[in-house]
Structure 1
Amino acid sequence: MTKAKVGIVGGAGYTAGELIRILLNHPQAEIGWVHSQSQGGKPVTTVHQDLLGEIELAFTAELDWSVIDILFLCSGHGASQAFLQENTVPDSIRIVDLSQDFRLADPSHNYVYGLPELNKNQIKETSWVANPGCFATCIQLGILPLAHAGLLSDDVHIHAITGSTGAGQKPTATSHFSWRNNNISVYKAFRHQHLREINQSLLSLQPNYSAKLNFLPVRGNFTRGIFASLYTAVSIKLEEAQELYRQFYEDSPFVFVAETHPHLKQVVNTNKGIIYLEQHDDTLLIISMIDNLLKGASGQAVQNMNLMMGWDETAGLRLKSSMF
């Protein structure tokens, strides 16, 4: 069987490294080239050292459109839009953008917001997907079923903690080991950029929703994963909410409604989203968890590729969590 060829732009970062790891074992896709201006000519394993013995490719500074069918854009926010303005990508090539550049609907582009649990049919029909943000994915998985049922009527309070890989591979003052280890801090309280795409999705399901999303993002002292706790007032009983969530996700192969209190290691190194519900008087507590680099980035990007190409949605993504 001839495999589809993939090109990766921004190949030296964390999300590109995760993409390479997945694609090396994908049954229907293979890597054509990995582009990096800063690393051109060097072996991929000089950056992604865990791939020693797995890949012999070198980074390229050239863009050969003739050898690829699918393009992943893994550069920083703002860089994808600039890249596409500077380079003419043939219309025959499908694009999955992992930046925030095209996540908000706008007449200036035709990208579909790539949350499969929300827009699966649209993703199947498009050639351009804007991969959601990691916090946005985790939070939306927690509350979209309520919006779909028209049950969001009050503020939603969100506390979500993320691993250090969410800050990207380039060292910063708040991501290096000496600062991050044994430490925790809040940042961008109530104004995180992912709120815009979350609100966009909620309004697509429940146009009359006008309450607030009170979001406290937290930097965690671990490397990967997002653990979000959300709560809001609801008018239904716990058993009804659980059934509502199960029905909403019945055709979503990576989202699971847990019956017992979950923990983060259940999703780390997987493309899973795990949801858990508890009721306290008229308040519904929702726990939502994902791996920020997989379901929150590269795993979801491959999931979107699978849908765009008409393949099994789970292809290459049956990944096992690391419990110990």
Structure 2
Amino acid sequence: MTRVAVLGASGYTGGEVLRLLLAHPGVEVVQATSDQFAGKRLDYPHPHLRGLGALRFTPHEQLGPCDVLLSCMPQGGLHQRWPRISELAGRVVDLSADFRLEDAEHARWYRKNPRPAGTPEFVYGLPEWTAAQLPNARLVAVPGCMAHAALLALLPLVRAGLVKPDVIVDAKTGSSGGGATPDRASHHPERANALRCYKPVGHRHTGEIESITARLTGQRPTVHFSATAVPSVRGVLATVHAFAARPIDESEPLRALASTYREKPFVHVVRPNASASPFPEPGPLLGTNHCDLSVDVDAERGRIVVNAALDNLVKGAAGTAVHVLNLMLGRPETEGLVFRGLHPL
């Protein structure tokens, strides 16, 4: 059994990481840390974990040795602790934004200090595209949830040379993306029925999509990203508007997506009129590690539209972290991730 610890396990993402790992046949959760809930059982902040063992939270500073550490700390939390973490954990999977970008990009979009000295080279944890790099990785950075959806939609088009460099991404997200600590904007009376564009320009996922697309395809797009809050708790729907680089057959974008993800167990290309949900939507995917994609082409105007839906807390965070862990350990990539969602909700 691989000994796994979860650093900063009391938030929404931490709760989902624990839910998946506690049922995983190949790992043992040896520690879950939280200063706020130190000494309390896991089900104190996570009621869906009732009955799943007797593990209790320990303070961050009491973190002990483990084979793999999954960090759910807020941005900057792992940076600050890296020297000690590197001594305790042989391998680290980070679910925050601390290691998603190279230093220059990170400084531009996050305005934080460069990564600590001695930090190993990170692998971007997008398993459908970086699986070959994961078995030997010591540090893996899980994508941001909206960037994750946008990248799954955009990368096949860029790699196939189908689109111009300018890309528009319109991302919609539920309230859980703001984390478990409320502020004025996320307080329920303010947020419950909100439908507001809260970041029309300058969202940090802009840099992530641009940088990672360049890293994985060799071509860097100019991304115009906007984020909108919608009246739901979970879910992301990213609509990617790309413009054809040349006259194209309407089937080319579909072939690019289908050929890319045909053998990928967690990404599905949805065909119109194929089911009761003919276009991607987060609802049927809640709680799962799946992403649904669809593509439509306006040939007259040269516009390609790809919709990508996923659960921000699972495929957009905890589920991908476990998927990454499976690949790092050489285990079956679907292990512990077989839940297929509920319908109707």
Q: TM-score, normalised by structure 1?
A: 0.93
Distance 1:38 1:136 in 2: 30
Q: Residue 92 of structure 1: CA displacement?
A: 5.8
Displacement after TM superposition at 1:88 (Å): 4.3
> 2:284 aligns to what?
266
- How many Å apart are 1:65 and its aligned residue? 3.1
Aligned pairs for 1:262-301 within 5 A: 262-281=280-299, 282-301=302-321
Give the letter aligned to residue 243 of structure 1: R
- C-alpha offsets along residues 120-164 of structure 1, whole Å, 9 cap, x if unaligned? 111122121011100110100110001111223142122111010
Alignment-mate amino acid for residue 119 of structure 1 = T
Which residue in the other structure is 1:63 paired with?
A: 62
Q: 5 Å matches for 1:145-160?
A: 145-160=156-171
Q: Secondary structure at the match of 1:320?
A: coil
Aligned to 2:325: 305
CA drift of 1:55 comes to 3.0
Specify whether residues 150 and 23 from structure 1 end up closer, same or farther in structure 2 by C-alpha distance, changes over 3 A only.
same
Which of 214, 235, 254 lines up with 1:242 in the alignment? 254
Is residue 2:223 matched to residue 1:213? yes
CA drift at 1:50: 1.9
Counterpart code for 2:2: A
| Match 2:125 to one of 95, 114, 119 | 114
Q: How does 1:21-40 map to 2 (within 5 A)?
A: 21-40=19-38
**Does 1:224 find its partner at 2:222?**
no
Sort the Cα spacing of 1:151 and 1:91 in 2 relative to 1 into closer, same or farther, 3 A: farther
Name whichever of 107-116 and 246-255 sits farther off. 107-116
- Mapped to 1, the partners of 2:324 and 2:64 lie a distance apart of 20
Q: Gaps spanning 5+ residues in structure 1: where? A: none
Q: Does 1:170 align with 2:176?
A: no
Tell me how far 1:91 sits from its aligned partner. 7.0
CA positional deviation for 1:249? 1.3
- 1:63 maps to amino acid: Q
Give 3-state SS (helix, strand or coil) of 1:56's partner. coil
Aligned to 1:77: 75
Q: How many residues align?
A: 319
How far does residue 64 in structure 1 lie from its aligned partner after superposition?
4.7
Describe the SS at the equivalent of 1:238.
coil
**Is the 1:153–1:209 Cα contact (8 Å) retained in structure 2?**
no
Q: Which letter does structure 1 place at the counterpart of 2:164?
A: S
**1:41-62 CA distances to partner (integer Å, 9 max, x unpaired)?**
1111111122122232110125
Q: Which residue number corresponds to residue 256 of structure 1?
A: 268
List per-residue Cα deviations over 1:82-111 (Å, max 9, x = no partner): 0214x2433762110111111113496311
Confirm or deny: 8 A CA contact 2:155 2:217 kept in the other structure.
no
In structure 2, the partner of 1:93 is 90
Q: Is the 8 A contact 1:150 1:206 kept in 2?
A: no
1:187 correspondence with 2:198:
yes
Letter of the aligned partner of 1:313 in structure 2? Answer: E
What amino acid sits opposite 1:186 in the alignment? C
Instruction: Give the distance between the partners of 2:212 and 2:183, measured in 1 at CA.
Output: 31
Asked if the contact 2:268/2:293 (under 8 Å) is kept, the reply is: yes
Which SS does the other structure have where 1:295 is aligned?
helix
* Distance in 2 separating the partners of 1:27 and 1:63: 26
Deviations 1:230-276 (A, max 9, x none): 21212322212111111111232111111122322122111011110
In 2, distance between residues paired with 1:185 and 1:100?
24
Structural RMSD (CA) = 1.7
**Separation of aligned partners in 2, 1:113 and 1:41:** 34
The answer on 1:103 being equivalent to 2:100 is yes
Q: Is the 8 A contact 2:162 2:253 kept in 1?
A: no
Larger displacement relative to structure 2 (92-101 or 215-224): 92-101
Q: Quick one: percent identity of the two aligned structures?
A: 34
TM-score, normalised to structure 2, is 0.88
1:45 to 2:56 alignment: no
Q: Helix, strand or coil for the counterpart of 1:38? A: coil
SS at match of 2:211: helix
> Which residue does 1:129 correspond to in 2?
140
Contact 2:33 2:63 in 1 (8 A): no
Write the letter of the residue equivalent to 2:342.
S
For 1:278, what is the secondary structure of its paired residue? strand
